[in-house]
Homo-oligomer: A and B are copies of this chain.
Amino acid sequence: MSHYQAPLRDIHFNLFDVWQLDHYWQQQSTLAEIIESETAKAILDEAAKICEQQIAPLSQVADAVGAQLREGKVTLPEHYYTAYKSLSEGGWTGLSGDPEFGGMGMPKALSMMVDEMLCSADIAFSLYPGLTAGAGVALLQHADDSMKSLYLPKLYSGEWSGTMCLTESHAGSDLGIMRTAAKPLPDGSYSITGSKIFITAGEHDLTSNIIHLVLAKLPDAPAGSKGISLFLVPKFLVNSQGDITERNTLSVGSIEHKMGINGSATCVLNFDGAQGFLIGQPHRGLACMFTMMNYERLSMGSQGLGAAERAYQNALIYAKERLQGRIAEKDTNKAEAIIGHPDVRRMLLNIKVMNEAGRTFATWVASLLDRAKYDNCELSNHRANLLTPITKAFMTDRGLDACITAQQVFGGHGYVKEWGMEQLVRDVRIAQIYEGTNGIQAADFMLRKVVSDKGVVLEALLVDILDEITTQPNTTTPQLQQAITVLRQHLHALLQRDLAVISAGACDFLDATAYVLYGYMWYRNIKALATGTQDNDFIQGKEQSAAWYCHKVLPKIYGILASIEGDTSSLFKLQDDIF
């Protein structure tokens, strides 16, 4: 059975030593009233308990049973109901919700750590509270007060859940060509008609109502993505007191049979003149939806990290227990634990250094979002925007790598279902695809976040990091300094190229930037050891990991950058029919 223990120590280290967020929380007027380090630790402890005891032990059962559609109703693995109830009752579903509407108002930096644990426990399960929280964020930002009062408290309490309905069978990444239509009704509401696919948590009986956020086109809509509006379409209609009245005219057509996340009901939803309510301005729905989308993109990073953390823990246990071969042992009838083999050690350490840097990175991005939100800090906002596609793409790509590597540590046992390692590979694979494929993330990063401002935000970030690591150098400084210098040279050169070449190099440049930023995460990990509160083993672990990252992982960028620099013209010379 697949093991999981929440990495609370490293989470505390990141929150309180690396980023010293307890200090920030104390200084920030809104947050000071809500949270300090002991509250945060208590919240994390409780979340860890639910994840370790109620969700993780049954994730393989959830995979085997899956979501089941029968006669228009979707049922979920049995323990999902009790685990979701525990989450709701403990207030977890409203963890970062607005206190005005019954949320707990916790900072993103904290909820992102809870996200990681939930994803380690079971990515499929995590989607139900995850999408609900995302829907809450979109409503809070774009709905009017009466809608907020009506829907937010029940989303925060976990009584109801949420979805995002974007994709149609012919319109995935290209939402502008969608066909779902919204017709104005005399009472100011709308009649929504169309079919949406790949709707996560689109139908289930975990909650008494489901609040769908649906993109559709009004009759007078301009062409393309500027003609899309956002509607709230509840599964059950709700009166002004918030009571459920009649069933809305929408139904589940089918659920997908997928590679993984089998516990997640991925639905075709048919809206057949369903009653909906406009959120925000007409034709501005995509902007509203992106509030939710960006939130979800960060969660994708947690999926990558969460799966990778669980994969690592299990591979480490296996590598210490599995006896094969001899390194020091001379008796050929005896065997040693495979963790002694340099190649197995290498695989484990490669996962470890990416996971720990990933956790520091996730905490960083979340804390920038908090500063943007609570302090209206424009710089933090720009940096969070820059880093969001990296969080989504790089953390999920490396999450898959980690799960594959951990599976490899198990040899043949990694390929059979029993050990749970192959499920992690299957489950985490989706995170590279949904909420905008990683190719789209790279395009977003390069074109919208870097090229559009001539690289100013990225360049300023790199210069700030360079300044920090050279004025307060530690063991990571030499390799990191060199890497940043080379990355900046490539950034300047790339900005001179035409857009097609930049687009073709977008994934690689995102990767190179991310490896450098992960180097900075290791700089920060080492810097944080100076507080002197950690024991020797912890310090040793961090120092050797940082050294491994800087000497063995970071140099990958020299290959990536050499490739970016290489002549791209063959990509366009080769005609479609000769591929």
Contact = CB atoms under 8 A, between A and B. Distances in A.
Contact of A345 (B504, B552, B557): B504
Given A333-B224, A545-B570, A567-B551, A414 B433 contact: yes
A573 B504 CA distance: 41
A567 to B, nearest CB: 4
A186 interface: no
Interface stretch (A280-288, A423-431, A451-459): A423-431
Contacts of A443: 343
A530 interface: no
A571 B259 contact: no
A537 B177 contact: no
Given A224-B332, A333-B224, A339 B425 contact: no
Contacts of A167: 412
B558 A172 contact: no
Oligomer copy total: 2
Interface in A320-336: 320, 323-325, 331-335
A170 B323 contact: yes
Interface residues of A, number: 107
Contacts of A348: 579
Given A412-B198, A416-B256, A320 B433 contact: no
Contact of A411 (B173, B223, B425, B555): B173
Interface string A210-235: 00000000000001111000000000
Most buried by B among A258, A343, A407, A425: A343
Contacts of A528: none
Interface string A535-579: 001001100110110111101111110110111111111111111
6 contacts: A176-B332, A259-B417, A342-B501, A346-B504, A348-B579, A540-B573
Given A172-B411, A258-B415, 12 more contacts: A167-B412, A173-B411, A174-B335, A177-B333, A224-B333, A339-B579, A342-B500, A343-B503, A349-B570, A408-B439, A540-B575, A556-B562
